[in-house]
Amino acid sequence: MGEQPARRREKAAEGPSRPAASGSARTGGRTAVTPGETEASGATRPAKRPAKPESHLAMVRRARRINRELAEIYPYAHPELDFRNPFELLVATVLSAQTTDLRVNQTTPALFAAYPTPEDMAAADPEKLEELIRPTGFFRAKARSLAGLSASLRDDFGGEVPGRLADLVKLPGVGRKTANVVLGNAFGVPGITVDTHFGRLVRRWKWTEQEDPVKVEADVAAIFPKSEWTMLSHRVIFHGRRVCHARKPACGVCPIAPLCPAYGEGETDPEKAKKLLKYELGGYPGQRLSPPPDYPGRPAPPLGAG
């Protein structure tokens, strides 16, 4: 007798099956055989029919399951920029373009000691400001953005960082990604942060085919309730930095491999894959010099240490 419709829908929603972490595929308890190979019985295994395309509903259910799995894997997920107030987060996020959060965190202590407020930074000597942020790269363009946004905060917003997307994106050097980081982590306003890690993973997971960050944001926002947007961003970015790397994903130790359509693009051998893990998962320091209390890894060293 065939499966009941409800059961078929349930199986479809579970997402594409993938080999176990060891890399050996199993089918009904047996080792899978490629089409044309001979099984132990001597019979030729017929070629499998191509799998049916995943429905939109099945993709949504798989995406939400991935989010739940990531929440269990990274209960300590957080923004990996050090900051104490909205202005520091805004500045740090602008500086994070084309560099690592670690390098930004190693640079901002001296920067904020010299210019703790928008008024201070707006009045900064350009050459001194450039020198302080030189380690983050593109320091001349970033210095102009910091001076400009600080002047705008001073002149147009009473020295305070605004809590609205429409206001934030008017500031020099501030786009939707930066605005969503600030809104979600300094003001508690839900937002999706589409950085390079986020975009790479959601395309690998077939949540979207878009390359444009604004279109990626719209596609992913349609899958998840608004209340999940900020933490979803942290979880996906955490996974991209630690496991699902751009050039060599650690597929063999990825806990969401059974839900991933791109399984096998990276290293599937568990021992080899384990060596690819980064930050706290690989036993290395994290990116923040001052991580949250629940972070299980080690703080990053300050600039010039070690």
Sequence-separated (6 or more) residues with CB below 8 Å from residue 194: 176, 177, 213, 214, 216, 217, 220
pLDDT band at 28 (very low <50, low <70, confident <90, very high): very low
Query: Of 195, 206, 272, 274, which residue is the catalytic one?
Result: 195
pLDDT at 48 over 60: no
Backbone angles phi, psi at 242, to 5 degrees: -100, -35
> Could you report the per-residue pLDDT of 51-69, keeping only the tens digit for each?
689 999 999 999 999 999 9
195 flagged as catalytic: yes
Q: How far apart are CA 42 and CA 73, in angstroms?
A: 44
Query: Of 82, 101, 142, 177, which residue is the catalytic one?
Result: 177
Q: How far apart are CA 66 and CA 206, in angstroms?
A: 12
Q: SS3 letters for 32-88?
A: CCCCCCECCCCCECCCCCCCCCCCHHHHHHHHHHHHHHHHHHCCCCCCCCCCCCHHH
The helices-and-strands tally (H runs, E runs) of the chain is 13, 2
Please give the pLDDT value at position 46: 44
CB-based contact 108:91 (threshold 8 Å): yes
Please give the pLDDT value at position 304: 79
pLDDT band at 303 (very low <50, low <70, confident <90, very high): confident
275 flagged as catalytic: no
Task: Tell me how long the chain is.
Answer: 306
pLDDT band at 50 (very low <50, low <70, confident <90, very high): low
> Could you report the per-residue pLDDT of 162-199, keeping only the tens digit for each?
999 999 999 999 999 999 999 999 999 999 999 999 99
Mean pLDDT of the chain: 87
> Could you report the per-residue pLDDT of 67-101, keeping only the tens digit for each?
999 999 999 999 999 999 999 999 999 999 999 99
pLDDT at 26 over 90: no
